[in-house]
């Protein structure tokens, strides 16, 4: 007999708390809920944050992060998980230990480094630890353009350079990568997926708005929710792009700075398809 709990898709986020509710754990849990996945969390740091910026960061001990993961895994179970802000090497290492120990998968790694307002969310000295610990365990890595440049050590101002960077990130051990296009210039925001076999693009019109706080968290959480439901990667990325595009297109106009996106919009405007996707080789 199938029990109720075995039909519920369970998604875990391991990330920082954003008191302003637009990014981090809060964005992830809202996204999981909207996509019908049961959300669980392991908090790595508490940030004092609003739409005007990050006003304080309080890292948790690595052991506290590990114990949250233990508690979730040992009782509730995990169908897919993602990581977001992880500020230092000891937290990175203990998360990697738990991912391996419990064979947690599929894992989406959002290599959060710097907040939109400029605050450093990952210690510079921990960048190489991220490459050595979590990236080799990832089903998908989702860097934005500046993060992909840090990971590869290259300027990525052409599509060919971004394709080469995607290959380089797979050489680090990840199974797939999406280099996100939010930081590109021009009239489109195009995300580039490489799964080791072929390239795919997911394109939306670039929306002119200052309310893009937490777009990366929301995107990677949406991929994670869809993977938790058992969707293939390509389909999960397509849905995530649709989710984040609607969330940006229907802003809430909250706060005096970079406001949050609208996590209700995917459900509320369900008949609006705004993106196009194309396979590339
Ligand atoms: N102005 C925009 N118009 C349309 N789509 C956008 C815009 N900005 C970002 N996106 C989309 O949002 C998603 C996140 O991309 P982005 O490059 O902003 O990530 P990020 O910098 O990691 O986000 P954050 O750090 O705010 O969490 C991608 O799918 C990207 O294409
Ligand atoms: C806890 C936390 N995680 C991630 C981000 C990145 O989001 P953004 O680049 O939009 O500031 C953030 N600001 N805070």
Residue 202, domain CATH: 3.40.1190.20
Has residue 204 been placed in a domain? yes
Q: Write down the catalytic residue from 116, 217, 224, 245.
A: 217
- Domain that residue 156 falls in: 10-280
> Which ligand 1 atom is nearest residue 115's CA?
25
Give the count of domains, the chain.
Answer: 1
**pLDDT at residue 46 in the model:** 98
- Give distance in angstroms: CA of 118 to centre of ligand 2: 10
Does residue 5 lie within any of the structural domains?
no
215 domain residue, yes or no: yes
pLDDT at res. 117? 80
Give domain status of residue 1, yes or no.
Answer: no
Q: What is the pLDDT of residue 258?
A: 93
Q: Active-site residue 180, yes or no?
A: yes
What is the pTM assigned to this prediction? 0.95
**Encoding tokens for residue 258?**
């970079």
Q: Which of 13, 31, 152, 215 is catalytic?
A: 215
The pLDDT assigned to 2 comes to 41
Q: Which residues approach ligand 2 with their CB closer than 6 A?
A: 15-16, 18, 23-24, 47, 49, 84-85, 112, 115-116, 121, 213-214, 216-217
Q: Is residue 4 part of a domain?
A: no
Q: Is residue 154 part of a domain?
A: yes
> Does ipTM come in above 0.85?
yes
- Does 186 fall in a domain? yes
Compute, in angstroms, the gap from residue 63 CA to the centroid of ligand 1. 32
Find all residues with CB under 8 Å of 161, minimum gap 6, and list them.
Answer: 154, 155
Pocket of ligand 1 (CB under 6 A): 23, 116, 144, 180-183, 189, 191, 204, 206-207, 212-217, 219, 241, 244-245, 248
Ligand 2 centre and the CA of 6: distance in Å? 32
215 in catalytic set: yes
**Ligand with the closest atom to the CA of 257:** 2
- Which residue has 């365990």 as its token pair? 137
Instruction: Give every strand in the sheet of 38-50, ordered side by side.
Output: 53-59, 38-50, 10-18, 80-83, 107-109, 140-141, 177-179, 188-194, 199-205, 276-280
Ligand nearest to the CA of 59: 2
At 98, which helix (H) or strand (E)?
Answer: helix 89-101
Q: What is the CA(212)–ligand 1 centre distance, in A?
A: 7
Tokens of 49: 């944050």
CB-count burial class (<10 Å; 0-12, 13-18, 19+) for 175: middle
For the CA of 213, the nearest atom of ligand 1: 26
Ligand 1 pocket test: pick from 108, 182, 209 the residue with the most ligand atoms within 8 Å of its Cβ.
182
In this structure, is residue 133 part of a structural domain? yes
Please report, in tens digits, the pLDDT of each residue of the chain (281 residues total).
Answer: 444 455 899 999 999 999 999 999 999 999 999 999 999 999 999 999 999 999 999 999 999 999 999 999 999 999 999 999 999 999 999 999 999 999 999 999 999 998 888 888 888 889 999 999 999 999 999 999 999 999 999 999 999 999 999 999 999 999 999 999 999 989 999 999 999 999 999 999 999 999 999 999 999 999 999 999 999 999 999 999 999 999 999 999 999 999 999 999 999 988 777 667 776 54
Looking at the chain, the number of H-run helices and the number of E-run strands are 9, 10
Q: What's the gap in Å between 117 CA and the centre of ligand 2?
A: 9
């Amino acid at each position: 007999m199938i029990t109720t709990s075995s039909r519920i898709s369970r998604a875990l986020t391991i990330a920082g708390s954003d008191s302003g509710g637009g990014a981090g754990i809060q964005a992830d849990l809202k996204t999981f809920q909207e996509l019908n996945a049961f959300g669980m969390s392991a908090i790595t740091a508490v940030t004092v944050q609003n739409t005007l910026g990050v006003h304080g960061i309080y890292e948790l001990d690595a052991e506290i992060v590990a114990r949250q993961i233990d508690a979730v895994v040992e009782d509730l179970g995990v169908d897919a998980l993602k990581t977001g802000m992880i500020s230092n090497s000891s937290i990175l290492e203990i998360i990697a230990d738990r991912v391996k120990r419990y064979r947690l998968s599929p894992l989406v790694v959002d290599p959060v480094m710097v907040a939109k307002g400029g605050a450093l969310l990952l210690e510079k000295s921990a960048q190489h630890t991220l490459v050595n610990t979590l990236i080799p365990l990832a089903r998908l890595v989702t860097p934005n353009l500046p993060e992909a440049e840090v990971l590869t050590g290259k300027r990525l101002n052409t599509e060919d350079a971004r394709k080469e960077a995607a290959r380089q990130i797979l050489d680090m051990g990840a199974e797939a990568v999406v280099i996100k296009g939010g930081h590109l210039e021009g009239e489109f925001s195009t995300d580039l997926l490489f799964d080791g076999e072929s390239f795919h693009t997911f394109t939306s019109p670039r929306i002119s708005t200052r309310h893009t706080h937490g777009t990366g968290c929301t995107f990677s959480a949406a991929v994670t929710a869809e993977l938790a439901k058992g969707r293939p990667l390509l389909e999960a990325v397509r849905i995530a792009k649709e989710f984040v595009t609607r969330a940006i297109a229907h802003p809430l106009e909250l706060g005096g700075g970079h406001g949050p996106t609208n996590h209700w919009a995917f459900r509320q405007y369900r008949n609006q398809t705004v993106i196009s996707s194309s396979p590339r080789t």
